[in-house]
Amino acid sequence: MTTNIPVQSTNVSDLSYISKPIGDLFGELPVNPDKYTRCLLSEDQVGFYKANGYLTQVRVLTDEQCNRILDEYQRFLLWNNNKENSSGKNDAHLLDFPEKEFLYEYHSNQSEDPNQVVTHMLGHWRVSPLFHDLLFMPTITVPTSQLLAALHPSQQTLMPVQFWHDQLFAKPAHQGGQVAWHQDYSYWTRTTPMQHLTVHIALDDQTEENGTVHYVPGSHRWYRNHDGKEGPLPITDIDFKDMDSIKKVLTEEEIQQFQPLPSLLKKGHASFHHPLTVHGSYPNRTSEPRRSAVLNYFAEGTRSDTDEPLLNGIPTIPRGELLNSRFFPLVFDPKWM
């Protein structure tokens, strides 16, 4: 069983040393099991996820919490700054706070096209108390536990959940870019087994005009054989530029089934999706930005499948070893209910 590292002090610059909520976003973790029970999804919601590979419109944040996070969001954006000496990728050096060294990745515009801007980063939970506490919220972790269990071979109803990594995806007004169709686990094969889940939280209302996330129902069943094991589709565009590049690797049957649906998430609502569910988003051409926070989790028992660092700047976990370190804290355990 994963054990979180005891908290000695909240006066640290790297918040990965604090493996529980600091209290800035929602307070402390509940002591009363009923407060976890209230966060459970309905049987219909779990059934929809099992059938389609995703679930949308789950309220996880209040408008006030969203607004506080959006205020914090500004420190990570370079949209209005002089970006000389920047290609838009790997440009954390342009940020103006010393904790930027704790980010795993920072791309002010991963597409590198000034007319298709997508700011994308990982690791901000180590920098910001608000983003740090977000990953522990029971409104997020309890449904995650249910949905990880829903398609797990163990046939449990709830599973212990560990944090994998966070992401921010931000699209500015008028020039916000697309995120090409992909399966998340295509990028995560350095971990095993595949028992992951992604939570996409809308901090602004998402519309078809501003680039809401779209999902391909049933695509969580799209596997490929890799050395005798079932695995994800190959990565076809790591920088989001070619929206439809994934279709080059789909079968005729998959292309016929490729019928994306918009999630149209409301502010403070989240979608939860399987690591093989194909998803993407179109450009933002409205007069307002479209900002989201993404949290990625895995079920306890996940192991490293590489002898390289799992994320930039953190100690290597040798192949075959459990992902047990302060960088992958336990965020929910059914024993707490």
CATH of the domain at 234: 2.60.120.620
What is the model's pLDDT at position 133?
A: 98
In a domain, 233, yes or no: yes
**Which residue's structure tokens are 């590049």?**
245
In a domain, 8, yes or no: no
- pLDDT (tens digit, 9 = 90+) per residue, 65-115? 999 999 999 999 999 765 556 779 999 999 999 999 999 999 999 999 999
**pTM of the shown model:** 0.95
What is the model's pLDDT at position 10?
A: 47
CA distances from 282 to 103, 156, 171 (A): 26, 36, 10
**Which residue's structure tokens are 């103006």?**
96
What is the model's pLDDT at position 84?
A: 57
In a domain, 218, yes or no: yes
In a domain, 34, yes or no: no
Range of the domain at 250: 50-336
Angle between helical axes of 43-52 and 138-150 (0-180°, round to 10): 60
> What is the full DSSP assignment across 304-335?
E--SS-SSTTS----TT-B--STTS-EEE-GG
In a domain, 197, yes or no: yes
What is the model's pLDDT at position 8?
A: 38
> What is the full DSSP assignment across 167-230?
EEEEE-TTTB--EEEE-GGGG-TTEES--EEEEEEESS---TTTT-EEE-TTGGG--EEETTEE
In a domain, 289, yes or no: yes
In a domain, 29, yes or no: no
Pick from 103, 163, 96, 125: which is nearest to 22 by CA? 125
In a domain, 26, yes or no: no
Number of structural domains found in the chain: 1
Low-confidence ranges of the chain (pLDDT < 70): 1-11, 81-85
What is the model's pLDDT at position 2?
A: 42
State how far the Cα of 3 lies from the Cα of 314, in Å rounded to an integer: 19
